[in-house]
Amino acid sequence: MKLGLFGINFGACAQPETATRIARAAEAAGFESVWTGEHVVLPDPQAPPSPSPPQTPFLDPAVALAYVAAHTTRLKIATGIVILPQRNPVVLAKEMASLDVVSGGRLLLGVGVGYLKPEFDAIGAPFAERAARMDEFLDVLVALWTEEKPRYTGDTIRFTGIDAQPRPVQKPHPPIVIGAMTPPAWRRAVRRGNGWYGFALDVAATERSLAGLAEAAEQVERPAALGPLEITVTPPPGVPDRDALRRYAELGVARLVLLPNARSGDEIAAFVDRAAAACAGL
pLDDT digits (tens, 9 = 90+) for 21-37: 999 999 999 999 999 99
pLDDT of res. 58 = 97
pTM above 0.95, yes or no: yes
pLDDT of res. 142 = 98
What's the rounded mean pLDDT across residues 122-150? Answer: 98
Q: How far apart are CA 42 and CA 63, in angstroms?
A: 19
pLDDT of 7 above 90 = yes
Q: Is 232 exposed, middle or buried (0-12, 13-18, 19+ CB in 10 A)?
A: buried
pLDDT of res. 281 = 76
- 96 contacts 53 by C-beta, under 8 angstroms: no
- Taking only the tens place, the pLDDT of each residue in 146-161 is 999 999 999 999 999 9
- CATH number of the structural domain spanning residue 199: 3.20.20.30
pLDDT of res. 282 = 74
pLDDT of res. 112 = 98
List the domain range (segments joined by +) for residue 265. Answer: 2-279
At a CB cut-off of 8 Å and minimum separation 6, what does 159 contact? 90, 150, 151, 152
pLDDT of res. 219 = 97
Domain tally for the chain? 1
What's the rounded mean pLDDT across residues 54-72? Answer: 98
- 77 contacts 106 by C-beta, under 8 angstroms: yes
pLDDT of 220 above 80 = yes
- Within 10 angstroms of residue 36's Cβ, the number of other Cβ atoms is 27
pLDDT of res. 78 = 98
Q: How far apart are CA 195 and CA 199, in angstroms?
A: 13
pLDDT of 173 above 90 = yes
Burial 243-277 (b: 16+ CB within 10 A, else e): ebbebbeeeebbbbbbbbebeebeebbebbebbbe
| Best CA proximity match to 275, nearest among 73, 68, 6, 17 | 6
pLDDT-derived band of residue 280, with 50, 70 and 90 as boundaries? confident
